[in-house]
Structure 1
Amino acid sequence: MNKALTHRSFYILGLIILITTLSSFYLIQEDEDIIHLSVLQENQFTTDNIEATSTTEGLSLFIKKGEKGKITFHPNDDYWDITTHKFISIELENNSTDKVRFDPVISYDNPRRKYGKSKTNKLTNKHIGYINPKETLIYNCVLIRDKVTVEDYPQAQEFPGMKGIPGGVILNFAGVDAKHIKGIKIEFPSQEFEQKVVLKRIFKHKNAVPELYTKNKASFFPFINKYGQYKHDEWVGKITNDEQFKAAIEKETLEFIKYTGSKEWNQFGGYSSGPSYEATGSFRTQKINNKWWLIDPTGHLFWSTGINGAGKLSVSTPVSDREHFFEGLPERDTEEGKQFYKKGAYNHGAANLYRKYGENSELKYTEISLQRMKNWGLNTLGGWSVENINEFDESKRLPYTVIIHETSPEINDKFPDVFDPQWEVNLEENLKNKLYGKGNDPFLFGIYINNEIHWGTPNSTASDVLSKSKLSYAKQEYIRVVKEELKTIEAFNTLVETSFESWQELAKTRIAKNDIKWSALEEVNTTFYTLMCETYFKTSKNLVSKYAPNKMYIGCRWHGKHKNKINTTIGAKYLDLLSFNAYENEVEFYPYPSKEIDKPFIISEFNFGALDAGKFFTGLGYASTQRNRGEKYVNFVEGALRNPKCVGVHWFMWANSTTAGKGNGENANCGVVSMTDQIYYELVGYMRKINYHIYNYRSSAEL
């Protein structure tokens, strides 16, 4: 019997059993105004520097030239509940003479994470929108929801391994509690013209559960077609037959003719008509007139517009135990199955490349990707991109990065024991292999060592280390530091309220997190943490210099709470430039590196995704539509160009993640292309708008 059919039959039976208990949630939800703008009560909103007048069309807003303003709306009760809908949406009409920027800010409480009505925890969900003159626009505020609120979405249990589920509910490690929305603020930055906007509606928009799923769940499955796309929706660029691949190639050929790349660029993507500086044959950094720049191998100014995963479309999606999700998959023992299955996962991306480009599709795709990047104004292959660029003719190359992952042996789930000689051995072997044939390539932009490692804090690191056995090199080094600081085990016991008889007993004991008063060891823990950071960066820098002399060591791609004053300050001593994964709306005033650190940095990851093209997860950066993705890209890059320390930004990622998730749940609209290699032309148009003119913009920007 066909295994997929067996799974599907079993699953349908399970769905029938669930219908009774879940039916109340799955009623089709209509759009619903959460506040009636034409009949507002004075206690429902406040304004700051805005003239607001109720009309039959809604709420008419006026802001004077050169001034900013904001308006805030409050629910009649404590909260609005948005759990049954995908978006909070705002309908606006722009009666100004120019484009207006507006920034919706959703405020909420999150009592299930104990983030309730606290003045110290002001939880917000921030957006940026743009509306053209004389345009009426519906702006969709994406709500990435906190996974602790999963009980509000009973349908989630039927879509394991997916952060975004059909209907557009996104459940992530942190986010909004949609049951506790307590305010909506719309900010209007100052403009050099009078801003005249009519707010027509603020409403719950689009059912959080697909209509077909609500009416007939058995018919909803399978919901992913043979190309890896969502079956039950339509959008521009959706593939429904193989002939469309041929049409896509023909369309792109015309694009290559129409757009030939930035006139500013030289062969490296540097500023061909700008000033010249010392040419070293490698990329380097230089501060010029209080502004940091990269210098390309020929001595020209360079600013890095990059993209992660360039040239790759081969992301697999787990199939095992989810066979009922998919239709049109080949049997595993067929020629096609053997080619595109790996263990329990199927590679829709690789299968689509084969359908589109035929034999040797991956090699062909690398060349096409390099051509696309030049066409789109992207001059750097970021992390996880194709790394054999050195094998191509120089006329086809672009600057590229190499990323090394090495955290073994570990002191936590994502940080190495830098005191263990084996880590250095492993790192050296990895670097040696990855940099073979590349160490002297002028197109080698730089080397990352690791990504988003868990630096923690001095106290959390000490806790990780003391939980290890006596064989741990980090634990031995930590005890050496403690002995040097405190001298005796009695002093240690007194300080942290323990009763160890000797340092040897401490070494042999695996200490649980709550067994030690860590705050009492703050000073010694900071000493150890500083030494650990120093060892990590010094070892890494020495090995990079050994295997890629004169090439840039470009960091560890700090993220979230794992960047701090200690590790960034020490890192800056050894790094040519610092790298940060920053899923922010803007980075013009990014707080890292701190003002005390006079070193350049790049944003090694950022993006904005939308839910209007068959995807269920935006990614950590979000936008209202494909158009808004492009608008936010331009705004992000322009802000980075105005930041005197920022020397580049790298979009994450080349291609969307898979519709059903890639193993870690990610199934985002993060790509410039879909998993069927369809280009998001609206986004690309905005990319060209700024990327073709980066040098003129940065050179003339007032910092």
Structure 2
Amino acid sequence: MSAVIELDKFICGPDSLLHIVGEEHIRIETSASGGGVGQDLASYDPGMWKDNEYLVADLFHESHDVLVVMFSFGDAGGKELTVHYGLLPNIRTRVCLPLKALNGEKLFLDRYPGVMQSVLRGDRSVDRTRLKSLSISTIPSVKSRSFEVSGLHLRKEAPDFTYKQEAYIDALGQLLGKEWSGKTGSIEQLSLDLKIQMERSRNSHYISPNYSRFGGWKGLQFEASGYFRTENDGERWWFVDPEGYVLFSAGMDCVQPYDHMRTAGMEHLLPELPDQEGKYRDAWSSRGFNFLVANLIRAFEENWLEAWMELTECHLKEWGINTIGNWSLPAFIQRSSLPYVYPMEGFPSTEKTIYRDFPDVFNPEYERNAQEFAGQLVPLNKDQRLVGYFMRNEPHWAFVDGLNLTEAMLEHPHTFDSKVEFVKWLEQKYTSIEELNGAWGANFKYFHELLDSQKASIRRVEGVRQEDYAAFNRILIRRYVEVPAQYCKKADPHHLNLGMRYAWIGSEEILEGCESFDVFSINCYQMQPDREHIEKISNYLKKPVMIGEFHFGAADAGLLAYGIRAVASQEERGLAYRYFVEQAAAIPELIGVHYFQLADQPVLGRFDGENYQIGVIDVCYRPYQAFVENMKQAHDRMYEIRIGTKQAYDLCPNEIPRTGF
């Protein structure tokens, strides 16, 4: 039995208009600055949120791009969680939220048919039995927005998803219904363009006497160690290549052709696809269909992969890329002469996790798994082209700013080994349970009562108790970092530990244990690197910093989402790249920046629904030439900027609102 959320009870926020279209149908209009509607849930039976399992609604918008709709939930304790949904324009989409997601345990939610990426933001969790507010809104855009919501209700079972069949992309994987400069008009044009690129690449040579065989700049040399290392020259940090030459790492992530479009749940939007056997079998995988691979097959038949590798090696060298970044094709790395980084797989975990992907770090299982995890480095430890390894990418637990893992652990019903360790830590700090009670303002009879989540959990943690939670929070994070880092260094003493590529640093506690890294890595989706932030991290850890991801999208090409940072045109996108890289080269503590990614994402979304216009090449393997020219200019100038003989480009292009999820 479902429970209806009455749409006519919503109230407009600033810069928004609400139109009641029918009993279960509303239209929301917002200004370009975003906004939406909200309602107090006090009049509803609170039990309905416990008795049902899904919140469901149908949404529709007519627009120029993906619409990001946010469902925000607030509880009686003041906590708030928001789910961001990406919705394609001009088609009805059914949104389905499993209410168990409000426990905050998953950052990326399961993808339902027709929906793009679904992401959770906000506090650690909300209490679904004590919900007080619900709002529906959208993020800023380049213009005002209008979208319709109908049939908002709670239900026990997931709904069906029946959609009208209407092709959204063409046979080449390009968006239908939009024209742009550089759009490929036919299969014949595609094949001709790729063969011209191949002929040009075979007549091109990008070997410069200014660079070593490992990509290092010959303008400055230190002692050679035979492997990549780091060096501070008294003014700035450097990577140093195996021959002793300095390297500022200008890298490219995802140098691989296998970014498959997810077909499951999107069948109603697809053109007729080739058979999964025969000529186009390489374009299929368990994740879906790959239009880029299919297009390469159209031009190069069974030799498509070798042709892709040859073209890509030529392009990277022509563009001035000196490092193959994360998630790149191993066969390409083996064939290439460029240095590369290695993304480790399977970061150690435990059967029970404290919160999201944060393991029970004092469980012996964590150390055993860390040792096994490090073993993947052994076959690589003599490879001179390997710059270093990333232990993982963007820990999901670290997306919650100010997260206290001690508090989350004590509220969890499981008796974690880390919880037992916390009790031991308290017993060492406090001579008696009476002393603990006096400091905390508590009334425990025994220390071990803290192992009981019902007895340990309180609504608000303050004073000395909060200080103890914070102190042990640091101990947990330090062990999380140090245990696998030590095993990695033992397995591979030659190569650099490049860290964990945090999405951002929400608090200083995140830096606990990061002295174990040789380089601290962070992903930086800004218009320019945050110099002050980078300096602070480097000075705190006494280590150099590198940026593992950044990107820019533009509104003038054939995708409906522009990425996390966006500008109006490909020319401005190229200038944004140049501005970012040249500003980065001028920061003494920063030793590399890696762009995400080589190719545009699929129009209908990769495995998780991301569909950003962020590539250097499009789905037909056509480079965005205006972007490329600015990229080359930045790379040509970055060493002179770094040593101070040239000034960094200082005109930041105008940013437009993003359509990132």
Q: Same fold (TM over 0.5)?
A: yes
CA contact (8 A) 1:261 1:375 kept: no
CA distance in 1, matches of 2:39, 2:486: 44
Give the 3 Å change call, closer, same or farther, for CA 407–626 of structure 1 in structure 2.
farther
Out of 224, 228, 231, the residue aligned to residue 286 of structure 1 is 231
Distance 1:499 1:597, change over 3 A: same
Is it true that 1:370 corresponds to 2:316 in the alignment?
no
What is the match of residue 375 of structure 2? 432
Partner residue, 1:243: 188
Once the two structures are superposed, the pairs formed by residues 494-509 of structure 1 within 5 Å of their partners are 500-509=444-453
- Range with greater deviation from structure 2 (620-629 or 506-515): 506-515
Shift of 1:276: 1.8
Aligned twin of 2:12: none
For 2:24 and 2:626, the matched residues in 1 are separated by: 39
Choose the corresponding residue for 1:345, options 261, 279, 288: 288
Residue 428 of structure 2 is matched in structure 1 by 484
Deviations 1:456-510 (A, max 9, x none): 5676211222234554222222222222223444555555566544333332436
Residue number in structure 1 paired with 2:631: 687
Report the CA distance between 1:649 and its aligned residue.
0.5
Tell me what 2:495 maps to. 551
Q: Distance in 2 between matches of 1:330 and 1:246?
A: 17
Aligned 8 A contact 1:462 1:525 in 2? yes
Task: Quickly say closer, same or farther: Cα 1:403–1:240, change in 2 above 3 A.
Answer: farther
Alpha-carbon distance, 1:145 to partner:
5.4
Q: Distance in 2 between matches of 1:330 and 1:512?
A: 59
| Contact persistence 2:266–2:604 (CA under 8 A) | no
Give TM-score scaled by structure 2 length.
0.72
Q: Distance in 1 between matches of 2:22 and 2:290?
A: 36
Structure-2 residue corresponding to 1:355: 298
What displacement does 1:229 show? 2.0
* Aligned position for 1:48: none
The AA in structure 2 aligned to 1:688 is: K
Q: Distance in 1 between matches of 2:165 and 2:480?
A: 51
Offset, 1:667:
0.7
| Partner Cα separation in structure 1 for residue 423 and residue 469 of structure 2 | 10
Cα distance 1:160–1:671, how it changes in 2: closer, same or farther (>3 A)?
A: farther
Tell me, in whole angstroms, the C-alpha distance in 1 between the residues paired with 2:39 and 2:421.
Answer: 37
- Stretch moving more, 238-247 or 608-617: 238-247
Deviations 1:336-376 (A, max 9, x none): 68654444633334333433433254454334323321111
Question: Offset of 1:567 from its aligned partner?
Answer: 3.0
Alignment of 1:429-468 (within 5 A): 429-433=372-376, 435-453=377-395, 454-455=397-398, 460-468=404-412
- Aligned residue number for residue 147 of structure 1: 70
Q: Deviations over 1:3-41 (max 9, x none)?
A: xxxxxxxxxxxxxxxx99999969xxxxxxxxxxxxxxx
CA contact (8 A) 2:253 2:596 kept: yes
Among 602, 607, 610, the alignment partner of 2:551 is 607
Distance 1:244 1:384, change over 3 A: same
Equivalent positions of 1:575-586 (< 5 A) are: 575-586=517-528
Aligned with 1:231 (options 166, 176, 180): 176
Tell me whether 1:650 sits opposite 2:580 in the alignment. Answer: no
Q: What is the aligned counterpart of 1:589 among 531, 551, 566?
A: 531
From 247, 259, 269, the counterpart of 1:302: 247
C-alpha distance in 1 between matches for 2:615 and 2:455: 44
Listed one character per residue, the Cα deviations across residues 81-104 of structure 1 (whole Å, up to 9, x for unaligned) are 535xxxxxxxxxxxxxxxxxxxxx
2 CA distance for matches of 1:278 and 1:144? 54
Shift of residue 205, structure 1, vs aligned partner? 5.7
State the alpha-carbon separation in 2 of the partners of residues 609 and 357 from structure 1.
29
Q: Please tell me whether the aligned partners of residues 85 and 117 of structure 2 are also in contact (alpha carbons under 8 angstroms).
A: no
Deviation of 1:296 (Å): 0.8
Deviation of the 1:399 alpha carbon: 3.1
> For 1:523, what is the secondary structure of its paired residue?
helix
Q: In the aligned structure 1, how far is the partner of 2:233 from the partner of 2:581?
A: 20
Aligned-pair identity in percent equals: 23
The CA distance in 2 between the partners of 1:414 and 1:498, in whole Å, is: 31
Say if 1:240 and 1:540 are closer, same or farther in 2 by CA, change over 3 A. same
Match of 1:406 in 2: 347
SS of equivalent to 1:301:
strand
Whether contact under 8 Å (2:215, 2:338) holds in the other structure is no
1:160-187: CA deviations, max 9, x gaps? Answer: 6999xxxxx9997679x99898xxxxxx
Q: Name the SS for the 1:401 alignment partner.
A: strand
CA deviation string 1:579-606 (max 9, x = no partner): 1101011116241351444421111110
**How far does the alpha carbon of each residue in 1:230-261 deviate from its partner, in whole angstroms, 9 at most, with x for none?**
11112233344332333222342465446736
Q: In 2, are the aligned partners of 1:276 and 1:301 still within 8 Å (CA)?
A: yes
Separation in 1 of the partners of 2:320 and 2:385? Answer: 17
Instruction: Tell me whether 442-451 or 248-257 shows the greater mean CA deviation.
Output: 248-257
Is 1:417 matched up with 2:360? yes
Structure 1 SS opposite 2:548 = strand
Q: Provide the secondary structure at the position in 1 that maps to 2:534.
A: coil
Q: 1:238 to 1:291 in 2, by over 3 A?
A: same
The 3 A distance-change label for structure 1 pair 254 and 355 is closer
CA contact (8 A) 1:262 1:691 kept: no
Q: 1:266 is matched with which residue?
A: 212
> Is 1:383–2:326 an aligned residue pair?
yes
Partners of 2:566 and 2:489 in 1: CA distance: 38
Assess, with a 3 A threshold, how the Cα gap between structure 1 residues 157 and 602 changes in structure 2: closer, same or farther: farther
**1:684–1:317 CA distance, 2 compared to 1 (3 A):** same
- Deviations 1:125-174, CA, capped at 9 Å, x for gaps: xxxxxxxxxxxxxxxx99985624989999675276999xxxxx999767
Give the CA deviation at 1:568: 2.2
Contact 2:559/2:612 (8 A) holds in 1: yes
> Matches of 1:482 and 1:457 in 2, distance apart?
25
Q: 2:608 aligns with which of 664, 669, 677?
A: 664
Kept after mapping to 1: 8 A contact 2:70/2:138: no
Letter in 1 for 2:216: G
Distance in structure 2 (CA, Å) of the matches to 1:298 and 1:527? 44
Distance 1:421 1:152, change over 3 A: closer
Structure 1: runs of 5+ lacking an equivalent: 1-18, 27-79, 84-106, 115-140, 164-168, 182-202, 210-217
Q: What amino acid sits opposite 1:224 in the alignment?
A: I
Code of the residue aligned with 2:171 in structure 1: it is K
User: What pairs up with 1:201-212 in 2 under 5 angstroms?
Assistant: none
Amino acid at match of 1:578: F
1:467–1:511 CA contact under 8 A, matched in 2: no
Unaligned runs of 5+ in 2: 1-20, 41-63, 73-83, 97-107, 110-115, 123-135, 148-162, 649-661
Residue type matched to 2:370 in 1?
L
